[in-house]
Amino acid sequence: MSDAKLSLPAFYGVKAGMTRIFDQNGNHVPVTVVKLIPNVVSQVKTQDKDGYSAYQVAFNEKRESLVTSPVKGHLKKANIEKTFSEYAEIKVSDVDSAALGKETSVDQFAVASYVDVTGQSKGKGFAGVMKRYNFQGGPASHGSHFHRRVGSIGCRATPARVWKEKKMPGHLGQETTTVQNVQVVEVNLEAGYMLLKGSIPGAKNDFVKIAKSVKKA
């Protein structure tokens, strides 16, 4: 594996949890701690062969016994000695085959810059419309049989069915969610963590994608 690191517009980290810090003016700032983990290029996608340009990155190192033989062969082909279990693609406009096996860098994510964070939101299970869509609900007084239910869904002779995408009770959360324009507060490469202002999607120890903001520099 080459020692030179590759600069990409995104990387994958681990949401370690939330805490707070105090800035130079003594203001309380809530932050999310993102653990920095190795991201290694395991495959190069080219326009001629695959129809698009991208780098496949491998992360989440595990013991060799926990990785399947096809994955080991894939890593060996990329001259990667470590055994990773998670893979994702990062699209770029131009790729270089020499980048195979290189570890990515986070130097491009400077303090005070903005990033877009993508993760899987926490699962809330089966939820009603008041929790899921912030419905107002019915009267809370005695005698009313309409408290937290959906109410009329418009199912009569016309249209004789329920319209698609009708807001009704169902599974809440556990969806891929992106929060844009999150400010980078601190990057500590020696300790291996990054601080992002505010909250980000996902539960503790979930993988999150940190990418350059598409709306802010």
Contact 13, 88 (CB under 8 A): no
In this predicted model, which residue has the larger pLDDT, 27 or 216?
27
| Interval 37-76: pLDDT, tens | 999 999 999 999 999 999 999 999 999 999 999 999 999 9
18-49 per-residue burial string, b: 16 or more CB within 10 A, e: under 16 = eeeeeeeeeeeeebbbbebbbbbbbbbbeeee
pLDDT in tens, 133-190: 999 999 999 999 899 999 888 878 888 899 999 999 999 999 999 999 999 999 999 9
Look at residues 172, 75, 179 and name the one whose alpha carbon lies nearest to residue 133: 172
What are the structural domains, with CATH classification, of the chain? Answer: 8-37+106-135+160-217 (2.40.30.10), 40-102 (3.30.160.810)
Task: Give 78-107 pLDDT, tens digit per residue.
Answer: 999 999 999 999 999 999 999 999 999 999
Q: Please say whether the beta carbons of 114 and 184 come within 8 A.
A: yes
pLDDT at 154: 84
Distances (CA, A) of 101 to 22, 28, 112, 197: 39, 41, 30, 32
pTM of the predicted model over 0.75: yes
